[in-house]
A and B are shown apart, each in its own frame.
Chain A
């Protein structure tokens, strides 16, 4: 298989990877150990593979990896600042807004896209932004509440400590 070099910044760290020209971003990120990027439907429907590319929420299952050349990619692993959780992560914890957790990285990153763009969204705007991430445990109310809460109280949650946990794959 032919390969090409991909230079990309992932979670603030510059990377240089060898990829296939037809590789998808989801496959490359998981191959490189970013297991917070979940493999779900692989058709752009479930949103579990959501990452931010230059601040824009995308389905990494639908994006050729070569397209992120020179871009900044943010995965769920890069959201906390050391031990300090992002306000959205803190709000998800406070609201118990995860059941099995498989969709949670996508939900949080879709929410981050929204709050970066629109710090004070209405509930409708939150629901629209989150609509591309499917939860098959069927719990949308708590995630929506969590995002609305994160939008209200960013200062409080910025100091929250990261909780030790195993890495789910």
Chain B
């Protein structure tokens, strides 16, 4: 499958990795855990650039939020105190669902994003956490809000770049709730649908801030912008949750595939959004 690969690089820095990528004439492939690249195969690859020795495996506290190096593994995310404390630990929970221990020990946050699967489990929590993606190329580093990164991934502008870091700002603190919900065929399977949510209420139980993100139901994971707007300012109660859960069904564009039909996915968007918002409400101290 990779018989035509001519060279395997292990760059010791981001600078070197970026230089190798630029010199690869479009036939160099970044490899971290390899769990997507190897399964997908790539007969056009002539060079492999292993970025797991490039200083990109770290989780740092940063201004109340955190910075996560692209080569950080799912296992490291799951167990990190910093990640468990961030936004109710939704990113750690999502990482813990990314396949078996054999996969989670090597699969990375950078790979989960860069591979661009609409079902990638880390993406919905990162959307809810207002994450920013840092990419590097020969010209330097750039920051992109995660939604922009998802839209631009694979375009010419980003093809020669290396995803180096994901940052999340300090999440809101008081009267907040967070949730990650995943529906898969089995405990280890890729998502049929996944939903992440976060919200904050004021002392009267009115929603001050809301995020709802859905995965595997559109070409990329998406935020349900209209639903978020409708939640804003409302009292967080059973009716608000029911209407939001109905609302997301109009914002998604699922397809039918081997795992589920479009209609089933749409219905599950409603169910998982309801569950997610109910969990958020309980954490935020709102009785339903």
Q: Are A110 and B101 in contact (CB under 8 A)?
A: yes
Contact with B along A35-65 (1 / 0, CB 8 A): 0000000011001001000001111011110
Find chain B residues with CB under 8 A from A44 CB.
Answer: 35, 38-39, 99-100, 102-103
Q: Is B259 an interface residue (CB 8 A)?
A: no
Measured CA separation A56–B57 after assembly (Å): 16
Find chain B residues with CB under 8 A from A110 CB.
Answer: 101-102
Q: Beyond A4-B8, A66-B8, A131-B187, is A43–B102 a contact (Cβ under 8 Å)?
A: no
Q: Is A69 an interface residue (CB 8 A)?
A: yes
Interface bin, chain A: 20 to 34
Q: Are B106 and A113 in contact (CB under 8 A)?
A: no
Find chain A residues with CB under 8 A from B103 CB.
Answer: 44, 59, 62, 132
Which residue on B lies nearest to A65, using beta carbons?
B8
Q: Are B4 and A66 in contact (CB under 8 A)?
A: no
Find chain A residues with CB under 8 A from B188 CB.
Answer: 131-132
Q: Are A61 and B38 in contact (CB under 8 A)?
A: yes
| 8 Å CB interface, B52-87 against A | 52
Q: Which of A21, A24, A57, A66 has the most CB of B within 10 A?
A: A21
**Chain B residues bordering chain A, tally (CB within 8 A):** 28
Find chain B residues with CB under 8 A from A47 CB.
Answer: 100, 102
Measured CA separation A19–B1 after assembly (Å): 14
Which residue on A lies nearest to B38, using beta carbons?
A62
Instruction: Please give the distance in Å from A52's CB to the nearest CB on chain B.
Output: 10
Q: Is A1 an interface residue (CB 8 A)?
A: yes
Q: Are B48 and A64 in contact (CB under 8 A)?
A: yes
Find chain A residues with CB under 8 A from B10 CB.
Answer: 66, 69
Find chain A residues with CB under 8 A from B101 CB.
Answer: 57, 110, 113-114, 128-129, 131-132
Find chain A residues with CB under 8 A from B257 CB.
Answer: none
Q: Beyond A62-B38, A64-B38, A69-B10, is A132–B99 a contact (Cβ under 8 Å)?
A: yes
Q: Are A56 and B8 in contact (CB under 8 A)?
A: no
Q: Is A119 an interface residue (CB 8 A)?
A: no
Which residue on B lies nearest to A114, using beta carbons?
B101
| 8 Å CB interface, A4-33 against B | 4, 20-24
Q: Are B3 and A59 in contact (CB under 8 A)?
A: no
Measured CA separation A113–B103 after assembly (Å): 13
Q: Are B102 and A57 in contact (CB under 8 A)?
A: yes
Q: Is B2 an interface residue (CB 8 A)?
A: yes
Find chain B residues with CB under 8 A from A67 CB.
Answer: 31, 34, 50, 52
Q: Are B48 and A22 in contact (CB under 8 A)?
A: yes
Measured CA separation A114–B50 after assembly (Å): 27
Find chain B residues with CB under 8 A from A61 CB.
Answer: 38
Instruction: Please give the distance in Å from A167's CB to the nearest CB on chain B.
Output: 24
Q: Which residues on B are within 8 Å of A, measured CB to CB? A: 1-8, 10, 31, 33-35, 38-39, 45, 48, 50, 52, 99-103, 105-106, 187-188
8 contacts between A and B (CB under 8 A): A2-B6, A22-B1, A22-B48, A44-B99, A59-B100, A59-B102, A59-B103, A66-B10
9 other A-B residue contacts (CB within 8 Å) besides A44-B100, A58-B102: A21-B7, A43-B39, A62-B103, A64-B31, A64-B38, A64-B50, A66-B50, A114-B101, A131-B101
Q: Which residues on A are within 8 Å of B, measured CB to CB? A: 1-2, 4, 20-24, 43-44, 47, 50, 56-59, 61-64, 66-67, 69, 110, 113-114, 128-129, 131-133
